[in-house]
A and B are shown apart, each in its own frame.
Chain A
Amino acid sequence: MSSLNPAAAGPLVGAPATDNYLTHSRGFWSWAATLDHKRIGVMYLVGIFTMFLVGGLFAVLLRSVLLTPDAAAGGVKTIVDANMYNRFFTLHGAVMVFIVIIPGIPAALGNFVLPLMLGAKDVAFPRLNLCSFYLWLIGTGMALSSLYWGGVDTGWTFYTPYSTKVGSSGAFGGVVPVVAGAFVLGFSSIFTGLNFIVTIHKLRPPGMTWFRMPLFLWGTYATAVIQVLATPVLGITLLLLLAERLLGIGFFDSELGGDPVLFQHFFWFYSHPAVYIMILPAMGVMSELISVFSHKHIFGYKFIAFSSVAIAILGFLVWGHHMFTSGQSELLGVIFSAITFSIAIPSAVKMFNWLTTLYKGSIDFKAPMCYALSFMWIFGIGGLTGLFLGMMGLDQHLHDTYFVVAHFHYVMAGTIFVFFGAIHYWWPKMTGRMYDEGSAVLASILMFIGFNLTFFVQFMMGTRGMPRRYYEYRPEFQMGHVISSIGSYVMLAAVLLLIYTMIRSLRSGRPAPANPWGAGSMEWQCASPPPHDNFKTPPPVVDAYDYESLEWDERVGGYVHRGRRGGPAAAH
């Protein structure tokens, strides 16, 4: 009798497999001091999702403020003044960028899935992993504490000289906690990346060569390389910013002969690769989702793998495209513009490979697939509009307008949509429960509609000259703003529906089989939820995208490998 997966006894069993990583030990300290990558992943997921709600709350607030063009017209502007508005958008940006999206998929899901995909027992450095989590927690706390110290209104980019001028809030102000918090968060990111690189290098099972790894691992690896190389530069940038503000060093202060543009070079040297930290894991997940839910082998494996590396490398060479209007030299503008165009190529390679994977596949419109398909549209637009901005001449007109805002929300939403897709995809594995497809798919559709409503109109507003970060605006933009704000409320509803779906799943979802989707990578070979030490012996290394050998087994309520009836327990 298959013992590792009691669900094999049939869908009548009311609870997930006993003695899994969740039930292995109990009590606060068994979680707070855990070295189990799965528990750490779960803690990250809860934390990051919560902070996503916080960042989203700021967004809904600021969109509400923008319903009316000025305070005279009434609306929320009667309660929220310009200074408070500046704090809203700054914290929205800082929270979403540093606390949610950059840790995002690697921390919340990668931590859980990575060792399982490798058939390993844990990541290379479990204690470092826990340390990363606590650094995340501390950094988040520090950043949020800025609210007590007067808030930050510099924008998430902390441009000098504004961020270094002491002003009315004193030397400390809200800037110092946020900047220090971001510094700590940076180290969380570095350690996670370090851990993943070593894990992928050293803990692969015999027979899993680099080109037999699932593509999610390629994406994670490329991300980790960027995390390790770029984040320290953020570290030194933030340190110099703090030194400037607290000690008056004077590098970026033009009154002391310094150069504010130097800060921008420093800042963007990290922050541009950072956006690839955000997108590469999502692209990795995309390869998994598209392939699994088309029941078709991923097309162009090596191209996708190499394109991840290409994006990682090229991402370091384009930071100046954020500075076309800052007084950068023209020579550099030309160099950065040219390389920016080239970075579209590997991204496009991936998009075409996914499209080709879909072609003639047997497409299953489960929630993860709905999110993945949304990504195709959303990232397609986001990426293409990046090309508009990469043109130096056009950027003179579009820089710091809503066009930029729309562009980066489209690409980042690519990540968020896939993040949600990935949560749904690995949900059965993590919780041992299935969720209700109907409401999950509905949430995804609502999210898609709401998102496009919010941001598509912003492209138009941007080209017509609506500047970003403005509290007041000319009345002719009001229609656009209202549509945009309505979209944000639709997104809020979608997120609430998503939360409702997941909570319902936890309470009364159908117990999940080991492999509900018919996927071929290793994490689906262990029970849902996995036991504490993952695998007694790693499963055999097979082609992760070969679906021919997987078939639906009604008794189990999931997929099993042909020739290995009775569930994955038989393989061990």
Chain B
Amino acid sequence: MQMADAAHPISHAAVPHGDAHGHGHHPNLEHHFDSLTQQFDAGKLGMWLFLATEVLLFGGLFCAYAIFRRNHPEVFMYAHQYLDTTWGAINTVVLLVSSFTMAWAVTASQRGQRNLTSLLLALTFLGGVGFMVIKAIEYQHKFHDGLMWGTHYDPSKHGHGHGEGHGAAAHGAAAAAGHAAAGDGRGGAAESHAAGAAASAGAAGDHGASAAHPEATTSVHAPETPGQGASAAAADADVPPERAPLEPSQVALAPSGPAGLHVGGHDLHGPRPDNVHWFFGVYFTMTGLHGLHVLAGMAVIGWLFVRSVRGDFSADYFTPVDLGGLYWHLVDLIWIFLFPLLYLIH
């Protein structure tokens, strides 16, 4: 390939300036673009890049979901039953329909159909409103029933049967429950290891003194009475196979450790595993972040509606509608995945 030098440049830029020629400066053409097509393409590319960042933002949450569910499927099996599939399905339909009205709005704006565009944008907005209303209802139920994250999880408010069975009722089958019980079964030594137990020693020693969770309504660890060892036999099954169980005299393990939130008990949905709060932590973070994006999308669509009514858009210039539509569709896309992952666990 011949090298160019200054005397023989490869190409000569003789680019007509958008505002210097022919059709005159289109009011929507920015000064640094040469044509509406270039501007439109750039806008689209920029929007897709932004959508990619949103995908990665939610991707982190999907990762957390995958990890928690893979390691503790029983939590998800148990807890998801508290979600109302009907509301979830209605919300899915609402978003799909609003996606349709949005796509139609883009087509209408491409055809220069101003009134239709405005109408469809309004309908899409209403779809968002409907979605958020249903979400609010669902959230309200959960708050009321104590179905919340972390230490806010309070099964006593569930309103279902609350068998107050002790740890043994959890059976070895609730393997997660074995976490706390296993510690008990292992050694009778009640001393907690000072170095490792900084966080949990306080809780193990005296429940009320857990400074980090003053509002805990349930104890963080199973009570350390030796009677708890009823499930000790089942607990041995939790010992990793490559280690032979050690004699209690060889090991000075703490009686219990950070195994999570053990509440115990039974209700209509079966024995309650440990750490049910994870499911609600995942649920609220994922649907909460999604809800924030729905609100942001509604703000965008509201703004588009105002501009459409004002007559800003035409067959030549509909880019904002197109780009806003892409954002709304992404919000829909995320829900398409959230719905089965959260509501439709068998």
Mark A residues whose CB is within 8 Å of B: 115, 119-126, 128, 161, 165-166, 190, 194-195, 197-198, 201-203, 205-207, 212, 228-233, 235-237, 239-240, 243, 247-251, 253-259, 262, 266, 533, 537-543, 546, 548-550, 561-564
Contacts and interface: CB of A to CB of B under 8 A. Distances in A.
A212 to B, nearest CB: 8
Contacts of B31: 121-122, 533
B64 A255 contact: no
A165 B5 contact: no
Nearest to B220: A255
Nearest to A550: B6
A233 B59 CA distance: 8
B260 A255 contact: yes
B6 A563 contact: yes
Interface residues of B, number: 59
Interface string B259-292: 1110000000000001101100100110001000
B32 A541 contact: no
Nearest to B275: A257
A540 B150 contact: no
Given A255-B220, A537-B15, A236 B5 contact: no
B112 to A, nearest CB: 26
Given A232-B54, A537-B13, 16 more contacts: A121-B32, A190-B53, A198-B46, A202-B38, A232-B60, A233-B57, A233-B59, A233-B60, A248-B149, A249-B149, A256-B261, A257-B259, A262-B67, A538-B13, A542-B4, A542-B10
Nearest to A190: B53
B14 interface: yes
Contacts of B49: 194, 197-198, 228
Nearest to A540: B9
B13 A236 contact: no
Query: B-side binding surface: helix, strand, loop or mixed?
Result: helix
A161 B260 CA distance: 14
7 contacts: A123-B32, A124-B42, A125-B42, A228-B49, A257-B261, A541-B9, A542-B4
Contacts of B274: 257
Contacts of A540: 6, 9-13
Nearest to A235: B57
A546 B284 CA distance: 59
A228 B53 contact: yes
A369 B81 CA distance: 67
A119 B31 CA distance: 14
| Leading 10 A-B pairs by shortest Cβ distance | A257-B260, A207-B11, A540-B9, A236-B60, A561-B6, A248-B150, A232-B56, A121-B32, A250-B150, A122-B32
B52 interface: yes
Nearest to A237: B60
Contacts of A205: 11, 13, 15
Given A257-B259, A257-B261, A206 B11 contact: yes
Nearest to B221: A255
Given A249-B281, A256-B260, A257-B259, A538 B15 contact: yes
Given A248-B150, A255-B199, A255-B212, A207 B285 contact: no
A119 B13 CA distance: 10
Interface in B178-206: 179, 199-200, 203
A278 B12 CA distance: 36
B4 A541 contact: yes
B53 A232 contact: yes
A568 B320 CA distance: 40
Contacts of A236: 56-61
Interface string B57-71: 111110110011000
Contacts of B57: 232-233, 235-236
Nearest to A536: B17
Given A198-B46, A256-B277, A257-B259, A541 B13 contact: yes
B281 A250 contact: yes
Given A255-B212, A543-B5, A124 B13 contact: no
Contacts of A125: 42, 46
Interface string B308-346: 000000000000000000000000000000000000000
B244 interface: no
A250 B60 contact: no
Contacts of A115: 32
Contacts of B212: 165-166, 255
A250 B277 contact: yes
A194 B50 contact: yes
Nearest to B260: A257
A256 B54 contact: no
Contacts of A201: 42, 45
B53 A546 contact: no
Contacts of A262: 64, 67
B54 A542 contact: no
A257 B15 contact: no
B60 A562 contact: no
B152 interface: yes
A251 B67 CA distance: 11
Contacts of A248: 149-152, 213
Contacts of A235: 57
A474 B278 CA distance: 44
A126 B14 contact: no
A203 B46 CA distance: 13
B3 interface: yes
A227 to B, nearest CB: 9
B137 interface: no
A202 B42 contact: yes
Given A254-B199, A543-B4, A537 B14 contact: yes
Given A194-B50, A251-B281, A240 B6 contact: no
Nearest to B41: A202
Contacts of B150: 247-250, 253, 256
A122 B32 CA distance: 6
B258 interface: yes
Contacts of B251: none
A243 B285 contact: yes
B246 interface: no
Nearest to B214: A166
Nearest to B67: A262
Contact of B11 (A126, A229, A541): A541
Contacts of B61: 236
Contacts of B277: 250, 256
Nearest to A561: B6
B16 to A, nearest CB: 10
B6 A562 contact: yes
Nearest to B274: A257
Given A250-B149, A543-B5, A229 B52 contact: yes
Interface string B136-166: 0000000000000111100000000000000
B175 to A, nearest CB: 13
A255 to B, nearest CB: 5
A507 B152 CA distance: 63
Contacts of B46: 124-125, 128, 194-195, 198
Contacts of B32: 115, 120-124, 126, 203
B45 to A, nearest CB: 5
B287 to A, nearest CB: 13
Contacts of A119: 13
Contacts of B258: 254-255, 257
Interface in B1-58: 3-7, 9-15, 17, 30-32, 38, 41-42, 45-46, 49-50, 52-54, 56-58
A228 B275 contact: no
A133 B3 CA distance: 39
Contacts of B13: 119, 205-207, 537-541
A10 B268 CA distance: 91
